[in-house]
Amino acid sequence: MRGFLTLLVLAAISAGVFALGSLRRGTDGKAILHVAKELPLTVEVAKPEQGEIVRLVQAPGDVEAVLEVDISSEIVSKIVEMPVEEGDQVRAGELLCRLDDKNLLAELESAEARIAQLGAAVRQADADLEKADRDLSRQMRLSESEATSDLEVRDHRTVQKKAAALLEIRRFEMIQAEAYRKKLQEDLKKTVITSPIDGVIAKLSAKQGEVVVTGTMNNPGTVIMTVSDLSRMQVRVRVDEVDIPLVAAGQKGRIYLQADPNTSIPAGVVRVASKGSKQVGRDIVTFEALMEVLSRDARVMPGMTANVEIEVARRADAVTVPVEAVVHRMRKDLPERIVTAFDAKQSGLDLSERVRQGQYIKVLYVMKDQAAEVRLVDAGIADTRHVEILEGVDLADTVIVGPYRSLDQLADGKKVALEEKKEDAGTKNEGEAETEQLAEDGEETPDSKEDSRGQTVAATSTP
- Whether residue 334 is contained in a domain is answered as yes
Express each pLDDT in 299-319 by its tens digit.
888 889 999 999 999 998 899
Does any domain span residue 278?
A: no
Q: Which of 151, 184, 217 is the last residue of a domain?
A: 184
Residue whose C-alpha is closest to residue 328's, from 365, 368, 383: 365
Domain that holds residue 142: 101-184
Closest CA to 243 of 323, 311, 307: 311
CB atoms closer than 10 angstroms to residue 411: 14
Q: How far apart are CA 147 and CA 142, in angstroms?
A: 5
Where among 136, 157, 184 does a domain terminate?
184
Residue 17 placed within a domain: no
Do the beta carbons of residue 377 and residue 364 sit within 8 Å?
yes
Amino acid 91: pLDDT: 94
pTM above 0.75, yes or no: no
Q: Which long-range contacts (CB under 8 A, 24 or more apart) does 98-102 make?
A: 98/191, 98/192, 98/193, 99/73, 99/75, 99/190, 99/191, 99/192, 99/193, 99/212, 100/191, 101/77, 101/188, 101/191
Helix or strand holding residue 70 (H, E)? strand 49-72
At 153 the pLDDT is 84
Is the residue at 190 inside a domain?
A: no
Q: Which residues of the chain have pLDDT under 50?
A: 24-27, 29, 33, 423-463
Judge whether 284 and 239 are in contact, CB under 8 Å: no
Angle at 414 between CA 403 and CA 341, to 5 degrees: 100
Rg (CA), the chain: 46
Q: What share of the chain is helix, strand, coil (3-state, %, to 5)?
A: 30, 35, 30
Domain count of the chain?
2
Residue 219 has a pLDDT of 73
Q: Examine the fold and report which residue of 184, 207, 226 is the final residue of a domain before the chain moves on.
A: 184
Structural domain includes residue 274: no
Residue-level length of the chain: 463
User: Does the CA dihedral 299-302-305-308 come out positive or negative?
Assistant: positive
Q: Looking at the domain assignment, is residue 158 inside a domain?
A: yes
Asked if 74 and 250 touch (Cβ cutoff 8 Å), the reply is no
Indicate left, alpha or beta for 343 from its phi (over 0: left) and psi (-120 to 50: alpha).
alpha
For every residue of 247-313, DSSP letters joined together read: --TT-EEEEEETTEEEEEEEEEEEEE-SS-EE-TT---EEEEEEEEE-S--TT--TT-EEEEEEEEE
Please check whether residue 368 lies inside any domain of the structure: yes
361-394 burial, b at 16+ Cβ within 10 Å, e below that, comes to: bbbbbbbeebbbbbbbbebbbbeeebbbbeebbe
Q: Are 360 and 435 in contact (CB under 8 A)?
A: no
Phi-psi region of 250 (alpha: psi -120 to 50; beta: other; left: phi over 0): left
* Beta strand ranges found along 324-395 (DSSP E): 327-330, 360-368, 371-376, 378-382, 386-391
Q: What is the pLDDT of residue 287?
A: 94
Backbone angles phi, psi at 108, to 5 degrees: -65, -40
**370 and 416 Cβ atoms separated by less than 8 Å:** yes
Looking at residue 420, what is its pLDDT? 73
| 15 within domain boundaries | no
The CATH number of whichever domain residue 137 belongs to comes to: 1.10.287
Name 216's Cβ contacts closer than 8 Å, sequence gap at least 6.
Answer: none
